[in-house]
Amino acid sequence: MDQRLANYGSVVGDAVIDELRHLGERLAGKRVINVNSTRVGGGVAEILGRLVPLMREIGLEVRWEVIRGTEDFFILTKNLHNALHGASVAFGPAEREVFNEVTNHNLDTIDLQADVVFIHDPQPAGLIRARDQHGGKWIWRCHIDVSAPAAGAWEFVAPFVQHYDMSVFSAPQFARVLDIPQVLIAPSIDPLSDKNRELTQSEVEEALARLGVRSDKPIVTQISRFDRLKDPIGVLDAWRSARRRFDCQLILAGGAAVDDPESVQVLKEVRERADDDPDVHILDLPPTSNVEINAIQRASAVVIQKSLKEGFGLTVSEALWKKKPVIAGAVGGIPLQIKHKYSGILTHTVEGTAFWIKQLLSAPEFAHRLGENGHAHVMNNFLLTRHLRDYLLAFLFVADGNKDIIQL
Amino acid sequence: MSADEREHSTRPFEFQSRLNLTLLTGIRAHDLAELVRHLKTAPGAVIYHHTHHFLVQHQFLSPEPPNDFAYWVTHILLEERLGEELAAIDILRFNTIRSLRDALVEVIDAHLDQTAELRTAPPGTEFHFMRSVSFVLPTGKRVGSLKEFHDALALVSLGSLAYHMFDARLRLENGDNDFSQWIEHELNQGQLAAELRALDPYTYTQEGLRRRIMIAIELRLGS
């Protein structure tokens, strides 16, 4: 039998693993089906790829199905995603017909017989129509912020959502008032993945050498897509201002997708602004650069995530896990990961970011304490094992009814 | 050991553990008036959540305010005096969630009586009311003597510690923590039981609390 779960015992302690196994015993043999819209790419597929094998290991019968759709359908659901985030998009009868047609096709092809049907995001939400036929408890897992949607967007999904037994949101501020129970389950990082596992000093040094980064000056880093909402120009300006008082180098590392013209443009602007400064390293990394990102974070004196708008912002947890002092924008899920001046620094402006870069470089003991606190916070709240536990508890909760205390 | 004290209990202590799932109510407060209005009608599981989840989720903050109300009032509304008063509410004084709620409401109402203008939380920093659903599960650890108790305590999860020290007293309304109950009634060691009862568990980090209890037992075992 696969023993992957046991490997996490050395990170989170055996008592946590014992609790997970105990929950697994309570759910042994329960059939759970996950349905989302893609097998690879994106955070939802990545997390399912990690959680599904662990759920199977502790005794659940878990399947993972992916809906099939037409090009029209995926254009529609991309628009719907943007509109749920607030972008103005109109939805009429034609869109509803496209959505219903693809939903019907998937209802014909996916076997939805299960004790728990776990539907991820809006794309497959319409499958709820099979509920009366198949039974089981239905959970809608919403990974996006639906608190301030454009007119018509929520109305598009609401008729489906109201028929679920339960919904799951990543952050309190992403949710809205619903008639069905809403559970808070934050996303997580995997401490054993290449992006987060411990690296030896020589692994870190080799990776930095490959990337052409020297280690003779403290490193300030932001790891993010080249996207205006991550404000790479603001990071560059803040770093420049801080460097007048404290000599250091800057790494801006991330990907610029060739199919995303805006990211190519942003990368170009950042390069122009950096003006060939030898202390600025702009790294356009391929998506497989997990060990490199890990090494950069571990080699950094300060990590920045100066987002102007953010989903959950898990890069913050990645850096905190490596005990790094993090300066981040107080947006999206970031305040859940950082309590200002306890487990990191929350800022709102370029000037504030520059001020705190200087402060943290000048006060390494304080910076160290922030990193230690951040690590403890991530250990308790944002690791894969906590994510697994919450999903198992959600399955038990939905099966047991709406009680405050449940004896297992 | 005095004559009445027992080395072994006939009724073993069974360590249980507790895991919490957080539910969102969808209810938000933008200012103190809304906060207190919702506080008055919120279910006990909501009050429990906002006065206890901090202990587990932000262990490094202790001995900072152990409740969300104090944190929000101090750091978001910047009402430092009221925040201090809310943080200072001694949860150990209350044996029920209802009486704890009444105390929170009373402090905020007293502040509102003297306040003409209410500060509003900046957008995105509203207070979100949530509720904890607790799952209680056996750990399989059963002990009969104080030494065995001590050794098991070193190994159980923090959820187990929280269940026996916090939940048993306040949420299950047993009026006492489970450790003191067992040590007093099954081992007849009233002094040690009283010592653990007198600890303010809200002023420790969870690991700090575990160590503090273990040291008290070690001193007893060594004597």
Q: Which DSSP string corresponds to B149-214? A: HHHHHTTS-HHHHHIIIIIIIIIS--SS-HHHHHHHHTS--HHHHHHHHHS-GGGS-HHHHHHHHH
For residue A307, tell me if it sits in a domain.
yes
How does pLDDT run across B94-128, given as a tens digit for each residue?
999 999 999 999 999 999 999 989 999 998 889 99
Query: Are A182 and B128 in contact (CB < 8 Å)?
Result: no
For residue B86, tell me if it sits in a domain.
yes
For residue A196, tell me if it sits in a domain.
no
A152-173: average pLDDT: 94
pLDDT at B165: 94
Query: Are A46 and A155 found together in one domain?
Result: yes
Cβ(B201)–Cβ(B166) under 8 Å?
yes
Query: Are A156 and A287 found together in one domain?
Result: no
Query: Are B96 and B168 found together in one domain?
Result: no
Q: Which residues contact A405 (CB under 8 A, 6 or more apart)?
A: B133, B134, B136, B171, B172
Tell whether A238 lies on the interface with B, counting CB pairs under 8 A. Answer: no
Residues of B in contact with A181 (CB under 8 A): 23
Query: Are A339 and A325 found together in one domain?
Result: yes
How does pLDDT run across A124-141, given as a tens digit for each residue?
999 999 999 999 999 999
Residue type, B53: H
How does pLDDT run across A302-355, given as a tens digit for each residue?
999 999 988 899 999 999 999 999 999 988 899 899 988 989 999 999 999 999
Instruction: Residue A302: give its domain's CATH number.
Output: 3.40.50.2000
* Sheet containing strand A405-407, strands side by side: A61-66, A31-36, A116-120, A137-142, A166-169, A182-184, B8-29, B127-145, A405-407
Residues of A in contact with B134 (CB under 8 A): 404-406
Q: Which of A182, A331, A406 sits opposite B135 (nearest CB)?
A: A406
pLDDT at B3: 62
Query: Are A256 and A295 found together in one domain?
Result: yes
Query: Are B43 and B120 found together in one domain?
Result: yes
Query: Are A168 and A217 found together in one domain?
Result: no
Question: A302 lies in which domain range?
Answer: 201-381
pLDDT at B50: 95
Q: Please state, rounded to an integer, the average pLDDT across all residues of chain A.
A: 93
- Distance in Å, alpha carbon of B1 to nearest chain A alpha carbon: 33
Query: Are A216 and A356 found together in one domain?
Result: yes
Q: Give CA angle at A87 (A81, A89), nearest 5°.
A: 80
Query: Are A351 and A224 found together in one domain?
Result: yes
Running DSSP on this structure, what letter comes out for residue A179? S
Query: Are B24 and A182 in contact (CB < 8 Å)?
Result: yes
pLDDT at A259: 63
Query: Are B46 and B83 found together in one domain?
Result: yes
Residues of A in contact with B54 (CB under 8 A): none
Residues of A in contact with B66 (CB under 8 A): none
Q: Which of A343, A393, A407 sits opposite B60 (nearest CB)?
A: A343
pLDDT at A403: 85
Domain count, chain B: 2
Query: Are B130 and A184 in contact (CB < 8 Å)?
Result: yes
> Does the pLDDT of residue A1 top 50, yes or no?
no
Query: Are B102 and B127 found together in one domain?
Result: yes
pLDDT at A176: 83
Cβ(A323)–Cβ(A371) under 8 Å?
yes
* Domain stop point among B131, B154, B183: B131
Nearest CA in chain A to B167: A405
- Determine the Cα–Cα distance for residues A399 and A395; give it in Å rounded to an integer: 6
Running DSSP on this structure, what letter comes out for residue B32? H
A152-177: average pLDDT: 92
B160-186: average pLDDT: 93
B152-168: average pLDDT: 92
Residue type, A325: P
* Domain stop point among B64, B97, B131: B131
Tell whether A391 lies on the interface with B, counting CB pairs under 8 A. Answer: no
Least confident window among A159-168, A257-266, A329-338, B57-66: B57-66
Return the bridge partners of B145, or none: B8
Residues of B in contact with A182 (CB under 8 A): 23-26
How does pLDDT run across B54-95, given as a tens digit for each residue?
766 665 555 555 689 998 999 899 999 999 999 999 888 999
Return the bridge partners of A385, or none: none
Tokens representing residue B80 in the block: 């430092």
Query: Are A389 and B61 in contact (CB < 8 Å)?
Result: no
* Domain stop point among B131, B158, B185: B131
Query: Are A24 and A105 found together in one domain?
Result: yes
Query: Are A182 and A259 found together in one domain?
Result: no
Query: Are B104 and B39 found together in one domain?
Result: yes
Q: Report the candidate in A374, A360, A375 with the shortest Cα–Cα distance to residue A218.
A: A360
Query: Are B152 and B125 found together in one domain?
Result: no
Q: Give CA angle at B128 (A117, A325), nearest 5°.
A: 95
Q: Please state, rounded to an integer, the average pLDDT across all residues of chain B.
A: 90
Query: Are B69 and B163 found together in one domain?
Result: no
Residues of B in contact with A178 (CB under 8 A): 26
Q: Which of B23, B132, B137 sits opposite A182 (nearest CB)?
A: B23
Q: What's the gap between Cα A23 and its chain centre? A: 25
Q: Which of A22, A397, A404 sits opposite B137 (nearest CB)?
A: A22
For residue A408, tell me if it sits in a domain.
no
Q: Model-level pTM?
A: 0.91
Tokens representing residue B8 in the block: 């072994």
> Does the pLDDT of residue B223 top 70, yes or no?
no
B9-21: average pLDDT: 94
Query: Are A248 and A394 found together in one domain?
Result: no
Angle (deg, nearest 10), helices A153-161 and A71-84: 100
B15-32: average pLDDT: 94
Reported ipTM: the value is: 0.89
Rg (CA), chain A: 22
Chain B residues at the A interface, defined by Cβ less than 8 Å, are: 17, 19, 21-27, 43-45, 56-61, 64, 75, 124-126, 128, 130-140, 155-157, 159-160, 171-172
pLDDT at B63: 52
Please provide residue A96's backbone torsions phi and psi, each rounded to the nearest 5 degrees. -65, -35
User: Would you call B55 helix, strand, or coil by DSSP?
Assistant: helix
Span between the terminal Cα atoms of chain A, in Å: 26
Question: B199 lies in which domain range?
Answer: 144-222
Question: What number of residues does chain A have?
Answer: 408
Query: Are B57 and A173 in contact (CB < 8 Å)?
Result: no
Domain count, chain A: 2
User: Would you call B139 helix, strand, or coil by DSSP?
Assistant: strand
Query: Are B123 and B162 found together in one domain?
Result: no
A8-23: average pLDDT: 92
- Distance in Å, alpha carbon of B161 to nearest chain A alpha carbon: 12
For residue A46, tell me if it sits in a domain.
yes
Place B136 in a pLDDT band, splitting at 50, 70 and 90.
very high
> Does the pLDDT of residue A147 top 90, yes or no?
no
- Determine the Cα–Cα distance for residues A286 and B64; give it in Å rounded to an integer: 43
- Distance in Å, alpha carbon of B84 to nearest chain A alpha carbon: 18
Q: Return the percentage of chain A with pLDDT > 90, whole number.
A: 77
- Determine the Cα–Cα distance for residues A197 and A208; give it in Å rounded to an integer: 17
Tokens representing residue A220 in the block: 């300030």
β-pairing, A116-120 with A405-407? Answer: unpaired
Query: Are A323 and A396 found together in one domain?
Result: no
CA distance to A32, A102, A153, B3, B42, per residue, from A91 (Å):
32, 16, 7, 81, 38
Rg (CA), chain B: 19
Query: Are A208 and A263 found together in one domain?
Result: yes
Query: Are B130 and A172 in contact (CB < 8 Å)?
Result: yes
Query: Are A13 and B157 in contact (CB < 8 Å)?
Result: yes
Least confident window among A230-239, A252-261, B158-167: A252-261
